[in-house]
Each structure stands twice: as structure tokens, then as C-alpha cells.
Structure 1
Amino acid sequence: MSAEIKFRHYFVDEAGDLTFFDKKGRIIVGQPGASKFFMVGVAQISDPEQVN
């Protein structure tokens, strides 16, 4: 029996400010001055060499 090897290629990118804590380690999410937006995008591509 031959085993087929499958690969999954994931490419992850983020946008926005990654600062979630202040200098004292306190959470600042939702506080004035903290970024209101953060996005994460993921692309699952079966054959990355074919992507132009």
C-alpha cells in the first residue's frame, strides 16, 4: 500500500496594532488610545508555485 503525502501551505498576515498591553502589563484593549481594529488573514494554497 502506498501512502500519499499531503501538504498544506498556510500564509498568515496581520494588519493593525499588535499592542494589547501597556508598559505595566495591563490590558488596553477597548481603552482610549488603543487601536480599535485588528485583522488576521489566512490563505490556504494547495500549490503555491502556481500562484501568480
Structure 2
Amino acid sequence: ISDYEAIHPIKNWLDLKKRVGPYRRCFVFTHPSMPREPLVVLHTALCDIIP
């Protein structure tokens, strides 16, 4: 995940842990012709309200 983050670089293990902790999800969109290269990585926080 950290190798492909271009907008918000992951600095260390704690930074990554915050992004995939409780009530958070990480979705990866791939294509069969490029199985080891993610096309889209989406980090999502599950919340009761919209901030």
C-alpha cells in the first residue's frame, strides 16, 4: 500500500496503522492484466456522521 501512495505518503508503520485501524477500510481496484499493480487504492473511514 505504501509504495503506491502518491498523494499522502505513508511515513512510518504508525501512520499506516492509523489508516487501516478500527472502523477503517482499504479497498484496492485491480485488473486481471495487471494483477500485482493496483489501479486505485481507496482508504475509507466508517463514521456515524459526515464530518
TM over 0.5: no
* Higher fraction of strand: 1
Q: TM-score, normalised by structure 1?
A: 0.29
Higher relative contact order (CA 8 A, sep 6+): 1
Which is higher, the Rg of structure 1 or of structure 2? 1
Q: TM-score, normalised by structure 2?
A: 0.30
